[in-house]
């Protein structure tokens, strides 16, 4: 199937729910200084997507704002967005306002998909943080304000749901607390009195004056400033993160959204005034500051699927003009042939005219890489992407036998849409093991698989890679491989071994105590292979045998008949018989974890770790957050991520690594044996 066909200079007329969308024949605005690229971020259900739809309506990009609840939102146009009536995969759209081109990047508000907001912010020139007036700065809003501060990213806070009662003064104080800089209102809220408006104007003038010594001197003369001076200085203060502007608007009925559009144009940075990103030349290792006039450099924002199931990709241009020819994947150096480039407004597409800095461009041509990767016109310049958060949940995806290849291909496709999906394999069975950030993350993966009509699998808890060690030592165990009659032997090999346990961290080994006449050195490798085969499955649960030392005491061969494979079989029989006679002790893996949680949840975390046989080893408190280190059996860690998210309201994170194996308590042995895939 081919990508969408277009009438040049026009957008297709499509329907988003019941909303008929208009044709747009406007000329592209190509000047970088009149471009704004912003990410819509904030807490779940704060009204980000609804605000975006009303911005599009106010700018004349659509006739009527779509509604998320009615599945008519232009930004929430993916099937899974409609299914959940909330943003699952963020959309992009553009609008024109006061001779400026504004690119919007919508993002999911789910706590479990926060990495999507971080990526969008890293590829935008500013963030529009949507905060619900009645609910205040909820955790999701606090996180994006803190992340913007860490990035040095300018912000505009939009207070939504202003049709309901709220305390504006207290809310401004709350925004300041989380943003780390002073919040200044640029518009009034419904119900504001004349005194409120005067205080707002005074607060703005004073706040701007405090960012500039020249203005401060003027302000102190009359305790007022000329509005023109305030406007001029405000943009610089916002771009340098000395102030965070606040606008009040309703994401329900669209009241105040023109104030939001004016603020985007007036105070947020353009590609020419933003802080320039720094790329690394992968050939020289040198840092390169990317101004808008630099050669073409772009970054992959996301990969998505259109209504016909075709994948497409959206990139953000940082510098230069996107060429309609070969691009280079900066991380690998591979050349990519790019034909047509499009701009997107939800599911609607137009041939791209402006392909310069700040533009969000879509292509249906194959674009290898993952979100955050860099593309250039030939230079090996790499822009760093935010690190993906470590997975908190793991699930085994067990495909039906005839669907194994298809399910694995579907999971690989999911990973191209979301690089935070961590794909691995179960070390015991080889089936796919998927690492995820949250239950919302898992649900989104399942949504994609449903949309691809893929259901030939079941989900299961990860298996524990137990190990077995011999219970005691035994000697003189014989293994004989023989085929044929007494008069005519066709196959023959004999091997006699002893086995003994050693510590789980001791690799043990294989030793030969037999002379060359009984077992020539040419058969030693075959004996080693046979021992390894036997040790791959223990006698109790079929788990790998560790801490095993094998001594070859004797051997026998027929110089005319015996082959390496015969000796492999004899050594395997001897070792397997020895292990079966002595039995085994099960060992379980222990991990060392570091858990990052809000400091006020430490008590609950300690109790949770204790209930999982864990042992706390250290605690560090850093302001409102704390880091706890502990050792915990992997058996109990398989469901720890879910509980951590529950006791920390989605704010906890942990990482871990294998540090040792300990004897499995007797109470868990029966379950370990019965749940073994080899029993």
Q: How many domains are there within the chain?
A: 5
Residue-level length of the chain: 679
- pTM of the shown model: 0.85
pLDDT of 504:
61
Whether residue 446 lies inside any domain: the answer is yes
Among 214-218, 399-403, 461-465, 503-507, the range scoring the smallest mean pLDDT is 503-507
pLDDT beyond 50 at 16: no
- CATH number where 434 lies: 3.30.70.870
CATH number, domain of 309, equals: 2.40.30.10
Cβ contact 566:574 at 8 Å: no
Q: What is the pLDDT of residues 191-215, one digit of tens each?
A: 888 888 888 888 888 888 888 888 8
Residues 6 or more apart whose CB falls under 8 angstroms from that of 450 comprise none
pLDDT tier for residue 391 given thresholds of 50, 70 and 90: very high
Q: What is the mean pLDDT of residues 11-28?
A: 33
Question: Are 476 and 441 within one domain?
Answer: no
Residue 127, helix vs strand vs coil: strand
Please count the CA atoms within 13 angstroms of the CA of 149 that sit on its side-chain side: 17
Mean pLDDT of 143-164: 95
Same domain for 262 and 327, yes or no, is: no
Q: Which residues are within 8 A (CB) of 205 and not within 5 positions of it... i.e. 6 or more apart?
A: 219, 224, 225, 230
Give the Å distances, CA to CA, from 281 to 373, 385, 414: 14, 15, 30
Q: Which 3 state secondary structure label does DSSP give 529?
A: helix
Nearest to 635 by CA among 590, 670, 594, 666: 590
Question: Do 134 and 249 fall into the same domain?
Answer: yes
- Residue 658 has phi, psi (to 5 degrees) of -70, 130
Residue 266 has pLDDT above 70, yes or no: yes
Residues 474 and 575 grouped into a single domain:
yes
pLDDT, residue 193, reads: 87
Centroid of chain to Cα 216: 45
The answer as to whether 4 is a domain residue is: no
Across 272-286, 510-524, 572-586, the highest mean pLDDT is recorded for 572-586
Q: What is the mean pLDDT of the chain?
A: 89
Residues 311 and 285 in one domain: yes
> Which range marks the domain in which residue 455 is found?
393-460
The residues near 603 (Cβ < 8 Å, ≥ 6 apart) are: none
pLDDT attached to residue 31: 64
In a domain, 638, yes or no: yes
* Whether the predicted pLDDT of 483 surpasses 50: yes
Task: State residue 300's pLDDT score.
Answer: 96
Radius of gyration of the chain (CA): 32
Q: Are residues 172 and 69 in the same domain?
A: yes
Angle subtended by helix axes 48-58 and 257-267, to nearest 10: 90
**pLDDT confidence of residue 27:** 38
Bridge partners of residue 423, in order along the sequence: 434
Of 421, 444, 460, which marks where a domain is finished?
460
Same domain, 577 and 593: no
553, 429: one domain: no
Is the per-residue pLDDT at 4 higher than 80?
no
The reported pLDDT for the residue numbered 676 is 94
pLDDT in tens, 557-603: 999 999 999 999 999 999 999 999 999 999 999 999 999 999 999 99
What's 628's domain CATH number? 3.30.70.240
Indicate the Cα dihedral angle 184, 188, 193, 196, nearest 10°.
Answer: 0
So what's the pLDDT on residue 6? 36
Domain containing residue 529: CATH number: 3.30.230.10
Instruction: Name the pLDDT band for 77 (thresholds 50, 70, 90).
Output: confident
**Segment 501-525 mean pLDDT:** 83
Q: Residue 136 region, left (φ>0) first, then alpha (ψ -120 to 50), else beta?
A: left
Confidence band for 506, pLDDT divided at 50, 70 and 90: low
Collect all residues with Cβ–Cβ distance below 8 Å to 58 and sequence separation of at least 6: 254, 257, 258, 261
Residue 65 in domain: yes
Q: Give the pLDDT band of residue 87 (cuts 50, 70, 90).
A: confident
pLDDT at residue 108, rounded to an integer: 92
Specify which residues 654 forms β-bridges with: 595
Report how far residue 130's alpha carbon sits from residue 263's, in angstroms, rounded to the nearest whole number.
14
Q: How confident is the model at residue 3 (pLDDT cuts 50, 70, 90)?
A: very low
* Percentage of residues in the chain having pLDDT higher than 70: 95
Task: Specify the pLDDT at position 316.
Answer: 97
- The DSSP line for 176-245 is HHHHSSEEEESS--TT--HHHHHHHHHHHHHHHHTT-HHHHHHHHHHS---HHHHHHHHHHHHHTTSEEE
544 three-class SS: coil
Q: Is the pLDDT of residue 42 over 60?
A: yes
> Of 557, 582, 607, which marks where a domain is finished?
582
3-state secondary structure 142-187: HHHHHHHHHHCCCEEEEEECCCCCCCHHHHHHHHHHHHCCEEEECC
What does the pLDDT look like over 531-562, one tens digit per residue? 999 999 999 999 999 889 999 999 999 999 99
Domain assignment present for residue 509? The answer is yes
User: Does residue 453 sit in the same domain as residue 485?
Assistant: no
In this structure, of 33-47, 75-89, 199-213, 360-374, the range with the lowest mean pLDDT score is 75-89
- 7: in domain: no
Structure confidence at residue 220 (pLDDT): 81
In a shared domain, residues 447 and 537: no
Q: Which of 535, 561, 582 is the last residue of a domain?
A: 582
| CA angle, 8 then 74 then 95, to 5° | 55
Q: Which helix (H) or strand (E) holds 82?
A: helix 79-84
Lowest mean pLDDT among 56-70, 112-126, 338-352: 56-70
Exposure b/e, 66-102, CB count within 10 A at least 16 = b: bbbeebbbbbbbbbbbbebebbbbbbbbbbbbeebbb
Q: Is the pLDDT of residue 320 over 60?
A: yes
**186 falls within a domain:** yes
* Residue 674: DSSP 8-state: H
Query: What confidence tens digit (pLDDT) does each residue in 375-387 have?
Result: 999 988 999 888 8
- Please tell me the predicted confidence (pLDDT) of residue 507: 65
Q: Which residue has the higher pLDDT, 508 or 460?
A: 460
For residue 272, tell me if it sits in a domain.
Answer: no
Assess whether 248 and 282 both reside in one domain: no
**Of residues 464, 465, 460, the one with CA closest to residue 636:** 464
User: Above 60 in pLDDT, residue 149?
Assistant: yes
- Domain check: are 424 and 516 in the same one? no
Angle at 642 between CA 641 and CA 644, to 5 degrees: 60
Residue 593 is encoded by which pair of tokens?
């974890």
What is the pLDDT, as a whole number, of residue 505? Answer: 66
């Amino acid at each position: 199937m081919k990508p969408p066909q277009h009438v040049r200079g026009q957008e297709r007329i499509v329907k988003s729910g019941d909303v008929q969308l208009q044709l747009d024949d406007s000329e592209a605005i190509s000047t970088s200084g009149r471009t704004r690229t912003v990410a819509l971020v904030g807490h779940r259900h704060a009204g980000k997507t609804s605000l975006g739809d009303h911005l599009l309506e106010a700018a004349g990009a659509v006739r009527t704002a779509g509604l998320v609840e009615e599945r008519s939102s232009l930004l929430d146009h993916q099937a899974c967005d409609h299914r959940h009536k909330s943003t699952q995969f963020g959309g992009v759209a553009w609008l024109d306002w006061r001779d400026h081109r504004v690119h919007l990047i919508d993002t999911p508000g789910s706590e479990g998909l926060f990495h999507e907001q971080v990526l969008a912010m890293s590829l935008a020139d500013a963030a529009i943080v949507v905060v619900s007036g009645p609910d205040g700065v909820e955790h999701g809003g606090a996180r994006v304000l803190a992340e913007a501060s860490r990035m040095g990213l300018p912000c505009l806070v939009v207070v939504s749901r202003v049709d309901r009662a709220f305390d504006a003064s207290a809310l401004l104080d709350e925004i300041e607390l989380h943003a780390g800089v002073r919040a200044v209102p640029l518009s009034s809220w419904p119900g504001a009195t004349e005194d409120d408006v005067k205080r707002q104007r005074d607060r703005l003038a004073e706040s701007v004056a405090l960012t500039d010594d020249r203005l401060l001197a003027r302000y102190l003369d009359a305790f007022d400033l000329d509005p023109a001076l305030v406007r001029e200085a405000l943009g610089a203060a916002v771009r340098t993160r000395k102030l965070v502007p606040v606008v009040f608007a309703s994401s329900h009925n669209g009241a105040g959204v023109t104030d939001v559009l004016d603020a985007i144009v007036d105070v947020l940075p353009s590609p020419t005034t933003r802080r320039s990103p720094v790329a690394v030349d992968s050939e020289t290792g040198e840092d390169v500051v990317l101004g808008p006039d630099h050669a073409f450099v772009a970054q992959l924002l996301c990969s998505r699927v259109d209504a016909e199931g075709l994948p497409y990709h959206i990139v953000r241009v940082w510098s230069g003009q996107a060429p309609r020819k070969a691009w280079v994947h900066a991380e690998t150096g591979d050349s990519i042939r790019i034909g047509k480039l499009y701009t997107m407004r939800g599911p609607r597409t137009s041939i791209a005219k402006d392909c310069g800095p700040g533009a969000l461009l879509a292509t249906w041509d194959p674009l290898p890489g993952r979100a955050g990767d860099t593309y250039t016109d030939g230079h090996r310049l790499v822009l760093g992407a935010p690190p993906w958060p470590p997975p908190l949940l793991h699930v085994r995806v067990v495909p039906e036998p005839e669907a194994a290849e298809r399910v694995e291909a579907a999971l690989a496709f999911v990973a191209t849409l979301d690089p935070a999906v961590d794909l691995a394999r179960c070390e015991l069975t080889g089936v796919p093991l998927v690492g995820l950030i949250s239950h919302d993350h898992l649900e989104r993966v399942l949504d994609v698989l449903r949309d691809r009509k893929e259901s030939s699998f079941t989900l299961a808890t990860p298996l524990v890679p137990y190990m077995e060690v011999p219970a005691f030592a035994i000697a003189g165990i014989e293994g004989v491989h023989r085929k044929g009659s007494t008069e005519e032997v066709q196959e023959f090999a004999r091997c006699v071994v002893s086995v003994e346990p050693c510590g789980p961290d001791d690799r043990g080994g294989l030793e030969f105590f037999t002379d060359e006449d009984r077992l020539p050195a040419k058969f030693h490798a075959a004996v080693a292979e046979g021992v390894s085969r036997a040790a791959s499955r223990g006698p109790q649960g079929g788990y790998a045998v560790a801490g095993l030392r094998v001594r070859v005491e004797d051997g026998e061969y027929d110089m005319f008949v015996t082959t390496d494979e015969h000796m492999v079989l004899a050594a395997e029989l001897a070792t397997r018989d020895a292990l079966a006679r002595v039995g085994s002790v099960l060992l379980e893996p222990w991990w060392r974890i570091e858990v990052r949680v809000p400091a006020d949840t430490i008590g609950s975390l300690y109790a949770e770790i204790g209930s999982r046989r864990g042992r706390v080893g250290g605690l560090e408190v850093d302001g409102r957050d704390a880091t706890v280190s502990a050792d915990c059996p992997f058996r109990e860690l398989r469901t720890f991520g879910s509980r951590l998210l529950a006791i920390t309201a989605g704010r906890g994170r942990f990482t871990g690594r294998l540090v040792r194996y300990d004897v499995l308590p007797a109470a868990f042995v029966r379950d370990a044996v019965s749940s073994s895939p080899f029993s």
